[in-house]
Each structure stands twice: as C-alpha cells, then as structure tokens.
Structure 1
Amino acid sequence: MLAILGGTLTLVGTSTNLIVNSLVLDANLPSLGFFDFTLVGLCLVFVCGATLCFFSYLLPDKAVHTDTAESYFIDAKINPGSSLVGKTVEQNGLRHLQSLFLVEIIRGKQLLRAISPTEVLQENDKLIFSGDISQVSQLNMFDGLSIFAENSGLSIDNLREVVVRPESILTGKTLKSVGFRSLFDSRCGSR
C-alpha cells in the first residue's frame, strides 16, 4: 500500500498521474513537470500512512500458506539389517507401487536419479518417492524401511510445479507415455 502511495510523488509514479498529464495536454496546456505531483503526493502519503498505522490492528492476521517438499515427496530410509538390502529395486517390489514412484536414492553424499530396476539397494539408502502421499501406508509393508514423511527436511531448491494447460499435447496422456522425464531431465511428482 505504501508503495502505491509513494508512486503519487512523481509524474511517472502512477498511471493516474500520467492520465492527468494527458488530459492537461489535451486541453492545450503545457505538460506537467516530473515533480509537480510531489507536494500533493507527500500530503497523501502522510495522511494515508498515519491512517494505516492507526487502524492496522483492525486488519485480519492471515497466515500465508506455502507449499513444502512434503506435499510432493515421501522419503524413507533403509535400516541396517533390512531384508531390502542387497536386492534390486525390482526384486523388492518398489517399481510397481500403487500411486507412488521411486524417483531418487540418496546414498551418502551421492544422488542417484532415474532409478534403474536393477539398482541394488544398500543399508542407509534414503529412498525418495513421489505421488499420492496418502498412499504412504504401502511403504509400511517393507521390512526395515523407516518413513520420514512428516519431518523430512527435503530441499525444495530444485522443485518446480508445472501446470498442464487443457490444450497441451500432454493432456490425456501419462507422463511415462510422452517420455517427460527424459525430455526434460526431471523427476515427476503429483499432488
């Protein structure tokens, strides 16, 4: 609000000032100067600013909702001694989960993307799944898999939400059928 009020201080500060100047020019009067609005603008800034400060307690206090990585991903850790250790992703049945997809494995400081069905799982691997997070209970059936869906601390620096427009060539097709991951070198999650 104060930025809008500050815009009233100069000729080009707001579109309203430019319209007033065009009306002055249409009346065959000389153009207004850059700072001709400053005196009136300062009065407006002080009066409206004081009013805002005085009545600000009446404004509603609404929390801003922000998306976090937990809205998109579920992560789980393979505990030492788990029956998953030493077997491939395919052998463990992690390729055909309903509404969940294994997108990454974090192994120590190494990040493995585009997971192959033949990838052998190791102790302390962190498995990152995307998909319907309400289906997290599926992961409970795996022995030695600890799930950290609620307080994972995932980095969302490289997370991008994409909206597919109705007229897109992607409409009505699965991401797998159009090769989305390979085309855009990305991993896919859904909400």
Structure 2
Amino acid sequence: LTMDATRWARLTDDGVAAPTLFGIADCAHADVFAGTTTAGTVVASGVNLAGRYVVQPTGQTMVYRAESLVYYVANNPDTGEPALRRARAGGNGQYTSEELVEGIESLQFLYGLDSTETIATQTPPVGNITEQRVASSVATATDAAAANQWRRVGQVQVGVLVRSPTPAAPAPIEANRLGVLGVTVVPPTASDGRYRATYELSVALRNRLFGN
C-alpha cells in the first residue's frame, strides 16, 4: 500500500515510530491486518486486499494505524492494592502495562446480541437485542463462524466494583456482598471497613445496531 507522504505522519503519532498493526477502510469495507512500514509504504501480511478497495482520489480508501489495548484488573506490585490497568501493544508487538485507576476490584462485561443470527449484506442487524452473554459464551474461536457471532454484538454492559483505598469506617458485623452484572464479589478480607460501590453502564454500538 502506497500512501500520500503528507499523511504518513499520522501513522507514527504518539511516538510509535514503527507501527505493526493497521486498519484500512472505505464506505463499504474495513480490515485490520499486521504489516510493516518503509518510507511511504505499508506492506500487508496475511491478508488479500486485491479487488476490495479503490485507491484515492477515485475511491475513499484510508489507511490507519490500529491500536491493540487490553483493560484488566490486577494488584499494584508495590502496594498490593487492586487497580484498573491497561496494556498497550508497542511496535514490537509486546504489551506495556500501566495503572489507570486504583481501587477497582472487579470489571465485568456483558455483550448484547442482535436477533439476526447471520450478519451479512443481505441480512444486516436489525437493532433488536434479544440476549446477553459473557465473552466466552459469544465465541472464543477465530474462524468465520466465531467472527459472525461478534458481528452480532450491538450492546455492551460494563460494570465495576470500586473500593476506598483505606478503611473508612468501623468493621461491620456482617460483611457486605456486592454484585456487578450478576457476579457476586467477596472481599478478600471480610469486614475490612472499606467503602464499596458498584457502577453499571450500557453502551449501544450504533454501527452494529444500524447495520453499518
């Protein structure tokens, strides 16, 4: 893929001198692929883009740098306190972890599936969310059937359980058991006197709901 030299800089923003993950899209298609870069050129590997895109200025094809991010909960190695962390893939394909928010004890997701069982050009999603599943129940494989299941996702529910960094009240007689999206979380230390609260949010994925 040969790019306009004036637009090359956006592939290397934020200090990513040698990106290895890219996206290509126009008004009809989108693909994410691994690749390498040389001056003004992206070499795609493991993907056949021939006949799928029309180059500019005739077409509307754009090339982007893709980001791979993983959000998870883990204990701080220095303090032992739980926190929300983010791992970002670098140009070498290795992930670098950073702490985002302290005091996060649990992070849960539920995925809402469109009632259309096979998403295709002739059978787009209708926006009718009929069931919710955890990620492992949507699909864990990497074949076409699994990819179709993820294309059915039109809604995501996010739930977090947060706690105060230090004990803030006398220990109660009975420990509270809070739930996040149906998952009951048992504190590591019963009656530890920390304030806890849960937060839940539902997000509509508009592109999937309306068939784009």
Q: Which structure has more RCO (C-alpha within 8 Å, separation ≥ 6)?
A: 1
TM-score, normalization: structure 2?
Answer: 0.14
Q: Which structure carries more strand by proportion?
A: 2
